[in-house]
Structure 1
């Protein structure tokens, strides 16, 4: 019922405003082929009804989103995207018009046809371009996301991850894994701790900024200690510890984003609470962590000689890609021998994520396909609206000696240009959106896929060209004499 109500409401909101203009059409226009200048005059009723329609769309968006904020952001995003695409269409058509004297006669005439009276070139470019934009943007994001979770690219992404391994169990567990799959699991000591003080001061959760980050900075952290940097780490501030271990002056390395969140830098002191025992360490360096190529990712890494006597457990990782049945068999055997150990099947988790991404892309692509369909329907409506003008143009060209092949070439070139422009608009902004979301929202590597973009432009051009040509094909067979007599 909600779907029916939503569909009817949207149809009314979008159709009522154009239908409102019918009351300004003069009866004589039904008898003569003229443009109605009254439709271009300022009509206060149109502006009022437009504002009411916008409010109605906002209400529907809020209703479906269940949040005023989300509804406003959705409508604002849709409006901004449509405005950018529309002005891009205006710019491209302006540039095309400036170059209409170039090329063959059929191409020049095709460009002129885009500006015939009553044309809806920009609206068609907006609708079809928006559909292409949605489809290509999500396809590009899918490509980059799947590449991000590709085992063949991330050689250090584990297939199995084990935690809560006791110190007395780690050697036996590593030996068992090596016997079953031939790989010696990499083990890492882990200690549970909370941040107590920074430079001797506790967190002031009365401050709004600190309170908003309480879940990030007030939680329990799993930390470790080691002498060397991992392969996926690099020091961006300070220096990694060298020389003999100094137990009297503990040092800690902080991950870059956490250092920014805590507002700490090299030389600051941090006090950690480990099972009631306070340990104060100096920030020795700030590390950058490449999460795309890692076995484990620790926010805090201590210098050896500090945490060895603290209550601790171990984590272990396995890189070998083994079939799902063998992974399940290995997990059952480990749980039978070490029931306290928690196991994460990373390969299975990644497969689920990839499936979710594919389903998400499929759903959004359907939405984009419907947007393209709406653009095609607008194209068909525009063809019907300008058919009389097109018939007259063809009659004049036939009288001047144009062959049917020439007229067909003009027709194909016109809709080919229209589709190409729509594809360029859609694919261009799809690339920009995909880049922005990948780099600044998802924080993943982005790679330009020229094949996807060129395929999108070509597919859009062919679709518009086929639909437009078929819808206008009967114009080629009209007799010029009958057409000119009726004028």
Structure 2
């Protein structure tokens, strides 16, 4: 006894606790393997995901010149740079001009056609990187005109497969012919082009005028890439960009530098990384339940040791310190394993994605990202270990020995409760503060915390209902109900271990299912059958007449269409507007705009008044109501847009709701007709047929339009939806695969909880077998217990997951939500299989114990 007292009264008490902790660890890690696996899994997920994200973003930044196609790029829409603008750009260094647009490529006999992403390049392309052709050959030679004057073109292999042609064949493009001279092997600046709806077709810019595709108001993107002097710093590049904006304030161009070569891709990587990091955090929290179970079971095996310590004079502080050190040392093993996996993951991802991504990942070991995983792992272990460790502080030796037959638990001291709460809050604060989108992180963390608390309430509710259940005649069912609510029951551990993982997967499955339903059913009924783009004003009437002849039973809509960039909101430059995350996208890049004399058919006024049909005053604009609120825009305030190099300011006259999900003709901004009087522009038309219209009729219309108006671009909505659906499928598969980490953690925790409960099950089984119970009856009773727990957990997961999915679909995506029966049945079946399966595996081993050794130790 005297050996403990002075040691605890000095700083040497910590050394003594460390010495005892290390001595006890000599017995091995039995009982802590699932603890270690849970921590390692969560840490590996967080550190690995953030490291891969960093490797991708660093790779983009490292290849910024190649992706952008230059050190600086000036982008214009609808128009080319004028003489003064072009002279200024060329004064900065060697320049390359690239034009991109969508067009229709057709077989010479008109029997088939396909939408292509057309790219016209000059002789300086590419300034950076290497453009390669399958089978070799130079770009200049491949794009040169042949002896017959037909220019060459390079195509993606998918275009040749789509049209059934080969290298050497010719095809129509607009009003001219081009010959396919090769297949594109690699395109260095492909990432900078954004979303593509068709295969690439590349030709020389000298061949573009003959196609007739470039007309006043045509939807053409012009990009001027500049190679700056070697050694030009990023600071000097930014200064050059600022000078260009100041010198040509009304140019309306979008200027990018090599440091921001693919902003959309980087944003998507950051968002996906954030989601996966939150999934990893969820796995850690689920694993935390396993930590608590393992610590609790470990302390139960150490009751005699703790009692001996206290009988010899050890204080509660020393006991707590000894076992806290042990737990954190064991957690350090799991954290170390997770960090090793996280450090290796960028190299594995780099090798696996080498043939998929057009960039090279910056494969390295990232200390900051690994440090984040370490911090998450440490706080998780601490948050879930403090509670069970704190209970041992004040329990006297007599209570510890009595605990063998009385499994009631007491709460730890207030300081341990506060420490547990502090660790949990620190975990949540770090997840929110370090998130790319703090609002989503806050919602996610709040929902996880609420689910955790609800699961505890559900477990207690199940136990209360079981306790109050009426007596049943079936012995097996009576035993199952008693096991659910008895002291030391597995109910809380099973419900907590499975609940969060199943809730997350149910939510993701319902979101995925509703998105598919919206794409395949709802949109197929509401969406137009065709979009026709770049209809010139002089062709509009003739084009509409053709549509009314070929699609007399269809609904035809026509609107003027321009592209413009929002430059100011209430006098504030767009890059300084404090927009909400949901509205910030309106300020980036160019937006489609139109003018209308009357309120569009698929819109409803929210605030303000629509202008009269003969209005001729100052320019007015109507704005989407939700986006206007996100920008802080009020009725009567001005906005400015740059269209065709001119900045036009209009006053907000009204806001309106827009049915974006219908895929009908919709615009964020609709102006009064007098705003663009005399401005060159094209028109957009749609044809909406009955969803059951035959493919033959659609293809016949497509052929007629392509033959009569070769410069009009046609988008068949079914093809676009098919491509979007394919993207959604791949994304959903990736998300579900990543989210399975949480389910794996749940399964590990469930297995650990059932294993920890086997000790008491052994005594129960032996006593019941001694009293005459058969193995079959006991297995049936335990199966009923696990089935009831699994069913209750699945029902909670279904309700909570459906609520989360409903919020995402209706609140964030603005769609309609339907509870999908197959998903519900899958959740219930999965929970039952896991709980009954793991439970019976452990029970079978328990029932195999011989009665005599157990009875001798009672």
Partner of 1:446: 817
1:88 maps to which of 432, 449, 454: 454
1:407 maps to which of 775, 778, 782: 778
Partner of 2:509: 139
1:424 maps to which of 795, 799, 803: 795
Partner of 1:312: 681
Q: Aligned in 2, Cα 1:73/1:323: closer, same or farther, shift over 3 Å?
A: farther
| In the alignment, structure 1 residue 358 sits paired with structure 2 residue 733 | no
Partner of 2:764: 393
1:225 maps to which of 595, 612, 623: 595
Partner of 1:484: 855
Superimposed CA distance per residue, residues 151-203 of structure 1 (whole angstroms, 9 cap, x where no aligned partner): 5456441232122110112233333344444436322112344556666x4x4
Unaligned runs of 5+ in 1: 1-6, 30-37
TM-score by length of 2: 0.46
1:102 maps to which of 466, 469, 475: 469
Indicate if the aligned counterparts of 2:580 and 2:630 stay in contact, CA closer than 8 A: no
Partner of 1:149: 519
Shift of 1:235: 0.5
Distance 1:45 1:70 in 2: 22
Q: After alignment, is 40-49 or 210-219 more displaced?
A: 210-219
| In the alignment, structure 1 residue 10 sits paired with structure 2 residue 40 | yes
Distance 1:377 1:229 in 2: 58
Partner of 1:45: 325
Indicate if the aligned counterparts of 1:187 and 1:315 stay in contact, CA closer than 8 A: yes
Shift of 1:289: 1.0
Indicate if the aligned counterparts of 1:177 and 1:184 stay in contact, CA closer than 8 A: no
Partner of 1:268: 637
Distance 2:663 2:489 in 1: 57
2:537 aligned counterpart, secondary structure: coil
Superimposed CA distance per residue, residues 227-275 of structure 1 (whole angstroms, 9 cap, x where no aligned partner): 3323321101112234x51324443322213433554333334455554
Partner of 1:457: 828
Q: After alignment, is 207-216 or 245-254 more displaced?
A: 207-216
Indicate if the aligned counterparts of 1:135 and 1:365 stay in contact, CA closer than 8 A: yes
1:125 maps to which of 488, 495, 501: 495
2:539 maps to which of 169, 194, 200: 169
Indicate if the aligned counterparts of 1:232 and 1:291 stay in contact, CA closer than 8 A: no
Superimposed CA distance per residue, residues 69-93 of structure 1 (whole angstroms, 9 cap, x where no aligned partner): 9976499979877655544333222
Shift of 1:142: 1.3
Mapping 1:341-352, distance limit 5 Å = 341-352=712-723
Partner of 1:3: none
Shift of 1:415: 0.7
Partner of 2:162: none
Indicate if the aligned counterparts of 2:569 and 2:577 stay in contact, CA closer than 8 A: no
Indicate if the aligned counterparts of 1:127 and 1:372 stay in contact, CA closer than 8 A: no
Indicate if the aligned counterparts of 1:256 and 1:286 stay in contact, CA closer than 8 A: yes
Indicate if the aligned counterparts of 2:529 and 2:716 stay in contact, CA closer than 8 A: yes
1:188 aligned counterpart, secondary structure: strand
1:340 aligned counterpart, secondary structure: coil
Superimposed CA distance per residue, residues 337-381 of structure 1 (whole angstroms, 9 cap, x where no aligned partner): 434323333221211222332333334444555654554455455
2:805 aligned counterpart, secondary structure: helix
Distance 2:738 2:759 in 1: 34
Distance 1:92 1:364 in 2: 28
Distance 2:758 2:301 in 1: 20
Unaligned runs of 5+ in 2: 1-36, 44-286, 306-315, 347-365, 374-429, 436-440
Indicate if the aligned counterparts of 1:250 and 1:303 stay in contact, CA closer than 8 A: yes
Shift of 1:414: 1.4
Q: Aligned in 2, Cα 1:28/1:254: closer, same or farther, shift over 3 Å?
A: closer
Shift of 1:129: 2.5
Indicate if the aligned counterparts of 2:579 and 2:630 stay in contact, CA closer than 8 A: no
2:615 maps to which of 241, 246, 254: 246
2:662 maps to which of 290, 293, 312: 293
In the alignment of these two chains, the number of paired residues is 470
Indicate if the aligned counterparts of 2:577 and 2:631 stay in contact, CA closer than 8 A: no
1:168 aligned counterpart, secondary structure: helix
Q: Aligned in 2, Cα 1:376/1:168: closer, same or farther, shift over 3 Å?
A: same
Partner of 1:33: none
Q: Aligned in 2, Cα 1:423/1:481: closer, same or farther, shift over 3 Å?
A: same
Q: Aligned in 2, Cα 1:23/1:398: closer, same or farther, shift over 3 Å?
A: closer
2:611 aligned counterpart, secondary structure: coil
Q: Aligned in 2, Cα 1:40/1:434: closer, same or farther, shift over 3 Å?
A: farther
Distance 1:351 1:454 in 2: 28
Shift of 1:141: 0.4
Q: After alignment, is 422-431 or 148-157 more displaced?
A: 148-157
1:185 aligned counterpart, secondary structure: strand
2:807 maps to which of 395, 417, 436: 436
Q: After alignment, is 134-143 or 303-312 more displaced?
A: 303-312
Distance 1:404 1:23 in 2: 31
TM-score by length of 1: 0.76
Shift of 1:121: 4.7
Indicate if the aligned counterparts of 2:504 and 2:739 stay in contact, CA closer than 8 A: yes
